[in-house]
């Protein structure tokens, strides 16, 4: 089709939007010269979808030492692998039944089956929370920096997102979070430990927020619980407006199977079940879940290795003069300064993947390193020391973000 034929129906608005986004004098002049032409009719998404942020997963190969995505860096339980090998071809033809998985998870965590909903990762859980509880006039309160999917899912339902920025110490800003609550607050999202900072929210503060906003869902994201050890799971019977999120992607090593869990008051969980697909969790994940839960020896051994590795990384970085923050999770955030991109690139050349978090609010110049097991920590630290030497990096390059971000597109995980 000729260019003339393509333009016969008018100028696509998407093309004009792209031109405007490109910016610059030439683009502005061209847009002005096209302004008299008719607009082509195009399908447009909801206004909230146009306005919502996008996440950008990495496109490069990850066939290196994976100290970037906070995954289990080794393998799931041997019992999980044995169960996978026992699955039959016919079993793959059957629609998955989530009920027995919900019951198994509930029994393990000391809950009733109607207080649990398994999800396609915690990501889907966050999406379901937004779909079930948020209207366009509702307010959402989020502590930033935090998990990017909070913004993505909530902004599809409402533009009234109140972001409470952590200070330079990246600790949880409890007083300012409390001051941000209003009668219009419908959801508060709390990550403990928080990604990417590693900071935690105390049980006392969680319960205080829940009491101050009884009309709001208080989502407590405990994706990194195993590396911290504190939970409000036992408060579910008494506190009717908290919903807890757990994942099987981190300590359990099931990231590829996409399995998460929401736990809370049965009435709230029932609303979430109404908006969830009946087959949202795949059958392979449901089959291996009981095995993953049962193998506490494997889980405890892996968590112990991560605790030891985290201490080694923190001590090494401290001895090198690298600014870090206390972490209760399986990662450490470090302040590299303006050459953060160079560090990540050079580490990849040394066979180690790190995660640049500079696009997160208040994290300009910050890079995150996932904690692996002993030999992986050794390799990661050796590479990091070598790269620091190659770059002739000095602690003086660290910068105090004071609420800034690099302004680049934020990325998932």
What does 156-174 look like in DSSP terms, one character per residue?
A: TT-S-EEEEE--TT----H
Q: Which residues pair with 96 in a beta bridge?
A: none
Position 211 in a domain? yes
Helix intervals (H) in 188-282: 203-212, 266-275
Co-location of 100 and 216 in the same domain: yes
Domain that holds residue 20: 3-44
Among 250, 272, 294, give the residue marking a domain's end.
294
Q: What is the CATH number of the domain that holds 261?
A: 3.40.640.10
Helix intervals (H) in 350-392: 374-391
- Report the domain count for the chain: 3
Co-location of 228 and 270 in the same domain: yes
Q: Which residues pair with 196 in a beta bridge?
A: none
Position 403 scores a pLDDT of 42
Position 261 scores a pLDDT of 98
Position 401 scores a pLDDT of 39
Pull the structure tokens for residue 44. 């447009």
| 3-state percent helix, strand, coil for the chain, nearest multiple of 5 | 45, 15, 40
Contact 248, 125 (CB under 8 A): no
Position 55 scores a pLDDT of 74
Hey, how many other C-beta atoms are within 10 angstroms of the C-beta on 51? 11
Position 52 in a domain? no
Supply the pTM of this predicted model: 0.88
Co-location of 221 and 166 in the same domain: yes
Among 277, 294, 311, give the residue marking a domain's end.
294
Co-location of 273 and 302 in the same domain: no
Position 412 in a domain? no
Position 315 in a domain? yes
Hey, how many other C-beta atoms are within 10 angstroms of the C-beta on 398? 18
Along the 413 residues of the chain, how does pLDDT read in single tens digits? 565 565 566 677 676 677 677 776 676 777 677 767 676 667 888 888 888 777 776 666 788 999 999 999 999 999 999 999 999 999 999 999 888 999 999 999 999 999 999 999 999 999 999 999 999 999 999 999 999 999 999 999 999 999 999 999 999 999 999 999 999 999 999 999 999 999 999 999 999 999 999 999 999 999 999 999 999 999 999 999 999 999 999 999 999 999 999 999 999 999 999 999 999 999 999 999 999 999 999 999 999 999 999 999 999 999 999 999 999 999 999 999 999 999 999 999 999 999 999 999 999 999 999 999 999 999 999 999 999 999 999 999 986 534 455 555 555 56
How far apart CA 161 and CA 102 sit, in angstroms, is: 32
DSSP label at 10? -
Co-location of 128 and 270 in the same domain: yes
Co-location of 288 and 386 in the same domain: no
Co-location of 234 and 357 in the same domain: no
Co-location of 290 and 303 in the same domain: no
Of 241, 266, 287, give the one whose Cα is nearest residue 116. 266
Position 413 in a domain? no
Position 56 in a domain? no
Co-location of 159 and 200 in the same domain: yes
Co-location of 208 and 329 in the same domain: no
Give every CB contact of residue 246 below 8 A, 6+ residues apart in sequence: 122, 222, 223, 225, 260, 261, 263
Contact 48, 159 (CB under 8 A): yes
Position 378 in a domain? yes
Position 250 in a domain? yes
Co-location of 164 and 185 in the same domain: yes
Give the containing element (helix H, strand E) for 32: helix 25-34
Tell how many helices (H) and how many strands (E) occur in the chain. Answer: 15, 15
Co-location of 285 and 302 in the same domain: no
CA distances from 78 to 247, 252, 380 (A): 19, 11, 25
Give the residue carrying structure tokens 């009946």.
Answer: 278
How far apart CA 68 and CA 353 sit, in angstroms, is: 5
Give the residue carrying structure tokens 């910050």.
Answer: 366
Residues in the chain: 413
Among 247, 274, 294, give the residue marking a domain's end.
294
Position 9 scores a pLDDT of 63
Instruction: Give backbone dihedrals phi and psi of 123, rounded to 5 degrees, phi first.
Output: -55, -50
Position 181 scores a pLDDT of 98
């Amino acid at each position: 089709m000729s260019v003339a034929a393509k333009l016969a129906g008018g100028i696509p608005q998407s093309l004009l939007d792209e031109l405007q986004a490109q910016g610059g004098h030439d683009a502005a002049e061209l847009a002005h010269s096209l302004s008299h032409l008719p607009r082509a009719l195009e399908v447009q998404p909801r206004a909230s979808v146009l306005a919502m942020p996008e996440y950008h997963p990495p496109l490069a190969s990850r066939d290196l030492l994976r100290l970037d995505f906070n995954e289990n860096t080794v393998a799931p339980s041997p019992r999980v692998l044995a169960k996978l090998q026992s699955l039959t071809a016919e079993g793959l033809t059957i629609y998955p039944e989530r009920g027995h998985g919900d019951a198994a998870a509930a029994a393990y965590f000391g809950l009733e089956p109607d207080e649990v909903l398994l999800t396609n990762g915690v990501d889907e859980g966050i999406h379901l929370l937004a779909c079930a509880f948020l209207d366009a006039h509702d307010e959402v309160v989020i502590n930033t920096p935090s998990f990017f999917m909070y913004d993505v899912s909530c902004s599809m339902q409402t533009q009234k997102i109140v972001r409470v920025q952590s200070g330079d110490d990246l600790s949880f800003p409890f007083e300012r979070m409390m001051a941000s609550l209003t009668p219009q607050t419908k959801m508060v999202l709390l990550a403990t430990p928080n990604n990417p900072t590693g900071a935690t929210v105390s049980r006392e503060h969680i319960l205080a927020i829940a009491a101050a906003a009884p009309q709001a869902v208080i989502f407590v994201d405990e994706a990194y619980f195993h590396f911290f050890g504190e939970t409000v799971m036992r408060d579910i019977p008494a506190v009717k407006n908290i919903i807890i999120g757990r994942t099987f992607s981190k300590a359990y090593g099931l990231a590829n199977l996409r399995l998460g869990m929401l736990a809370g008051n049965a009435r709230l969980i029932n609303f979430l079940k109404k908006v969830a697909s009946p087959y949202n969790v795949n059958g392979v994940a449901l089959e291996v879940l009981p095995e993953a839960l049962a193998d506490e020896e494997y889980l405890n051994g892996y968590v112990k290795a991560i605790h030891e590795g985290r201490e080694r990384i923190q001590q090494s970085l401290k001895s090198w003069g690298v600014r870090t923050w206390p972490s209760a999770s399986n990662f450490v955030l470090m302040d590299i300064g303006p050459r953060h991109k160079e560090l990540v690139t050079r580490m990849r050349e040394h066979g180690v993947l790190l995660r640049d978090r500079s696009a997160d609010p208040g994290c300009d110049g910050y890079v995150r390193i996932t904690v692996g097991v002993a030999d992986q920590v050794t390799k990661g630290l050796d590479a990091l020391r070598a790269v620091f030497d190659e770059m002739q990096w000095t602690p003086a390059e660290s910068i105090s973000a004071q609420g800034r971000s690099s302004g680049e597109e934020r990325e998932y995980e």
